[in-house]
């Protein structure tokens, strides 16, 4: 078995010392993800690199605005209030004022946490006023994702959301939040990234400190590996960590759908299967290259589709595969470079 356990990431401090432009990130994500917690981790990372980041949490500003008006709000009732849109507008006016106040420091980045929409009382409602897009003028947009079972568990422990949403409703809301955030980014001709919540702190830190860093989508035949040798998934995860010494890596296994309570719900299972394919293609589209770890001989239609999608969407595709996958599949016309030895792929990608 290959030993891919990553070494200490010596290159990270060197990257962190590079001068980067001041960045403003509009970060969305449905409830049950705890974006604010990860934003605090990002603050810690940037402080260690000699930068700072101001976090502007929409809910925090809404509460302060309501208190200043002597109309305190609670999160349990905020979405039922008749004046929620006005309170949100007042909150974003103050966010814009604070952004302007702190915007002159070239080492002071900004992360604005908000919702694009809410699925509340069985219907969709706005979570953001597009009037503020040009006033905020984000450098790029981020939508944060987590698996539906994990989100459902967190929401059931939240007094605002307990008992309100089924698994399929969470999956739908997650897709709506992603779609609307991407539309906002397209409207402003800005970059848009999907980031799994468990990778948010590291990935967003890297995007803030060095936005030009190359990005990899790591593809591997998950189902085939689980059937033949599940331990190889650990090797793939370790390979991802090794690559992060030099790249941003988008790992499809960081979003753990199809692994929790949804396995017992036939309706949501079908929804998530289709959604997983769509999401993985999105992760490929936001990457610079596709790296394929294909150590097993069993054919994987999913990995093959990712290879083909990347190659036909202007991405370099680098494949490690020690055998012929299928007599109907020729890697010489579907990949940029094919490696029969894993070490050759690793050395190729990590060489300076």
pLDDT, tens only, 274-317: 888 899 999 999 999 999 999 988 888 889 899 999 999 999 99
pLDDT, tens only, 201-214: 999 999 999 989 99
Helix (H) or strand (E) holding 119: strand 117-120
Structure tokens at 139: 């450098």
Q: Which of 218, 347, 215 is nearest to 295 (CA)?
A: 218
pLDDT, tens only, 311-347: 999 999 999 998 876 655 666 678 999 999 999 999 9
Q: Which of 311, 203, 201 is nearest to 247 (CA)?
A: 203
| pLDDT higher than threshold 50 for residue 14 | no
- Give me the CATH topology for the region 214-352: Rossmann fold (3.40.50)
Q: Looking at domain 19-212, which of 3.40.50.300, 3.30.70.660, 3.40.980.10, 3.40.50.620 is its CATH number? A: 3.40.50.300
| pLDDT higher than threshold 60 for residue 18 | no
Start-end of CATH 3.40.50.450 domains in the chain: 214-352
Average pLDDT, the chain: 88
Map 93-134 to HEC letters: HHHHHHHHHHCCCCCEEEEEECCCEEEECCEEEECCCHHHHH
Please give the pLDDT value at position 103: 64
Range list of H helices, 17-78: 35-48, 58-68
Q: How far is CA 23 from CA 96, 209, 350, in A?
A: 15, 9, 27
Burial 233-264 (b: 16+ CB within 10 A, else e): eebbbebbbbbbbbbbbbbbebbebbebebee
Please give the pLDDT value at position 260: 58
What's the pLDDT band for 227 if we cut at 50, 70, 90? confident
| pLDDT higher than threshold 60 for residue 158 | yes
Question: Which comes out higher in pLDDT, residue 325 or 115?
Answer: 115
Start-end of CATH 3.40.50.300 domains in the chain: 19-212
Please give the pLDDT value at position 298: 83
For 213, the 3-state DSSP assignment is coil
What's the pLDDT band for 351 if we cut at 50, 70, 90? confident
Sign of CA dihedral 298, 332, 2, 10: negative
Please give the pLDDT value at position 17: 45
Structure tokens at 132: 């503020």
High-pLDDT (> 90) share of the chain, % = 68
| pLDDT higher than threshold 60 for residue 191 | yes
């Amino acid at each position: 078995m290959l030993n891919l356990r990553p070494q200490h990431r010596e290159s990270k401090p060197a990257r962190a010392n590079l001068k980067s432009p001041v960045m403003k990130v509009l970060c969305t994500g449905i409830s049950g993800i705890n974006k604010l917690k990860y934003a605090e981790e990002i603050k810690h990372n940037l402080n260690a690199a000699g930068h700072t980041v101001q976090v502007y949490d929409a809910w925090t500003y809404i509460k302060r605005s309501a208190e200043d008006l002597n109309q305190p709000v609670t999160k349990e009732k905020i979405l039922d209030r008749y004046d929620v849109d006005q309170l949100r507008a007042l909150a974003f006016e103050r966010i814009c004022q604070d952004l302007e106040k702190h915007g002159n420091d070239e080492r002071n980045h900004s992360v604005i946490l908000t919702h694009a929409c809410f699925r509340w009382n069985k219907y969709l409602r706005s979570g953001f006023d597009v009037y503020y897009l040009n006033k905020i003028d984000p450098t790029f947009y981020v939508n944060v994702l987590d698996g539906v079972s994990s989100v459902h568990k967190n929401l059931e422990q939240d007094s605002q959301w307990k008992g309100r949403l089924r698994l399929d409703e969470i999956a739908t809301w997650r897709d709506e939040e992603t779609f609307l955030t991407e539309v906002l980014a397209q409207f402003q001709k800005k970059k848009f990234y999907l980031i799994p919540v468990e990778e948010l702190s590291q990935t967003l830190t890297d995007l803030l400190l060095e936005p030009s860093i190359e990005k990899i989508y790591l593809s591997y035949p998950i189902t085939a590996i689980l059937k033949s040798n599940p331990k190889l998934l650990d090797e793939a995860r370790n390979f991802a960590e090794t690559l992060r010494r030099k790249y941003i890596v988008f790992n499809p296994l960081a979003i753990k759908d199809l692994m929790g309570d949804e396995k017992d719900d036939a309706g949501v299972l079908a929804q998530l299967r289709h959604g997983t394919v769509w999401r993985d293609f999105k992760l490929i589209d936001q990457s610079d290259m596709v790296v394929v770890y294909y150590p097993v001989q069993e054919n994987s239609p999913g990995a093959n589709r990712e290879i083909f999608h990347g190659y036909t969407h202007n991405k370099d595709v680098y494949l490690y595969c020690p055998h012929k996958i299928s007599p109907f599949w020729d890697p010489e016309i579907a990949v940029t470079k094919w490696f029969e030895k894993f070490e050759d792929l690793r050395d190729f990608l990590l060489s300076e």
